[in-house]
A and B are shown apart, each in its own frame.
Chain A
């Protein structure tokens, strides 16, 4: 803020107004910046091929009439529905596997005192720091050896290596923030470990559980590298790679279809986020302060 003479120093109230204006201005820029790509995708997906190819046309608005042709083509004449189904199968199974493993792992690492549990907890997190770009080559060997190359089952095997460490870490933080008296009360009430987990820990840590679920969902829904490396047949492909490989023919880009496909592919995560946003934030922040 510019210097203000001491005598006319602003009251707390006008100070607050300026802070609000600044905050809204920053947020406005942020929103425009991040909403630009989806907007551009939406506009492009509604244009005819001719308008997209016309260099002189205005890229920001539809001028030659709205068409749903790209969507129609995508849903009826391409493998897009197949990709969608494959992605859904992979994601659902991966999320299920991830949550079972990471909840059990986090519970034992957070609550059962055993030799080396602290080191193990850190170790779990460190594995998350190894980038996929390094992992996909050795994992390729393993996937090939198991005979899973060119099937989406390879993804179901591989994705948990990305999701389990992070989700375990989130859940350790979350379980760790549950007061110990709660376990002790449950112990005296007669709960065994499984009952304590199912009837006390999971319900209490539900926001963390949802945060972890969203993370696992996003990773398996949006991963590009692994399907690109392991899957070649159109019938086994998932949305990310499938859309791109089938809609780019050599050097011909079907922009309208690409954008329509990308928008449809992005819809499920957006819907999920919208519904679970509050839980997601509560889960992440609580894990953060405790982790």
Chain B
């Protein structure tokens, strides 16, 4: 097991800069998830750590060794690929043991390791099958088994669940989490799915356009995003953004939403943003912070009600997503199941200013 350190990592393909200076230290045992939209450079970073892409500049260290020029097989890593990359002509046991056989590990030891990994992953009865006789989830388990038997210092996962259907993805997420709790191997996991990022990570690293936007524990990234990109990327449905102006009214700092209510800011936030008074800003408010008027849980005490006309309703069972227009913007709110909103209906929703994110449109930084 080892730390992984990335120092000013840059990767250029011909003229395209895919990775533009990544600095990241991943301590031993940590599960780090790199998340971001397609083309943000997350997979490239992972492939550089694996040794599948050359580093244009910067350093990669695994433990105390600089591995920039170390071939993949000597980096003591194991990787799980999106499309599993199982050897189609080998049985499950052969797939898992291929790396060990190449390293001339003793047969009895190979057998033990494969058996142990198969037991951990619940695929012991599949050892004699070939990949084409397995379901997607089983294949992904075999791919993980192949990584486990090597007993590597670092696990690399490249979007391992994106080929699975939603239900299976949920199950495998739990399996991966259990696996990490059991093995405690340093893990770098790449995904574009923010649910995977939130649920799996000890630390989420949000990437955009080849750079790290924010790195932190899932809670922090979700509740205290540093940039507009992170605020908009994490969370589903996505955060609502709309223009607002900061004004002083009756001695309180108020965010006046375009065509919407004026939200008085909590004292602590008001103190932070006072210097922006009079400026045009962007307000970010998550759907769960716009609720129905008559909520039973009493969280509405501090909210500001506002009349709106419902555009679209998406009932999800345990909650309902309501889309409505405010000026030019379409906003989204989460309401409880006790209210039954209908499209076209006029109703009052309550905006909760205590979770309001104010963004400077010039820098896109959350204030």
Contact = CB atoms under 8 A, between A and B. Distances in A.
A189 B85 contact: no
B102 A195 contact: yes
Contacts of A179: 83, 85
Nearest to B158: A181
Interface stretch (B74-82, B190-198, B231-239, B318-326): B74-82
A181 B83 contact: yes
Given A188-B50, A191-B102, A182 B85 contact: yes
B167 interface: no
B73 A189 contact: yes
A186 B94 CA distance: 13
B89 A189 contact: no
Contacts of B296: none
B137 interface: no
B272 interface: no
Contacts of B150: 189
B98 interface: yes
Interface in B243-285: none
A190 B83 contact: no
A185 B150 CA distance: 12
B85 A185 contact: yes
B93 to A, nearest CB: 14
A200 interface: yes
Contacts of B102: 189-191, 195
B99 A190 contact: yes
Nearest to B143: A185
A179 B99 CA distance: 19
Interface string B63-95: 000000001110001110111011111000000
Interface string A173-192: 00000010110111111110
A93 to B, nearest CB: 28
Nearest to A195: B102
A181 B163 CA distance: 15
A18 B50 CA distance: 58
A41 B98 CA distance: 53
Most B-side CB within 10 Å, residue of A189, A190, A200: A189
A203 B89 contact: yes
A204 interface: yes
Given A188-B50, A189-B73, A181 B85 contact: yes
A285 B87 CA distance: 21
Contact of B81 (A185, A190, A195, A206): A185
B79 A204 contact: no
B52 interface: yes
A182 B50 contact: no
Interface of B: 50-52, 71-73, 77-79, 81-83, 85-89, 98-99, 102-103, 146, 150
In order of increasing CB-CB distance, the 7 nearest A-B pairs are A189-B99, A181-B85, A190-B73, A185-B85, A203-B89, A190-B102, A181-B81
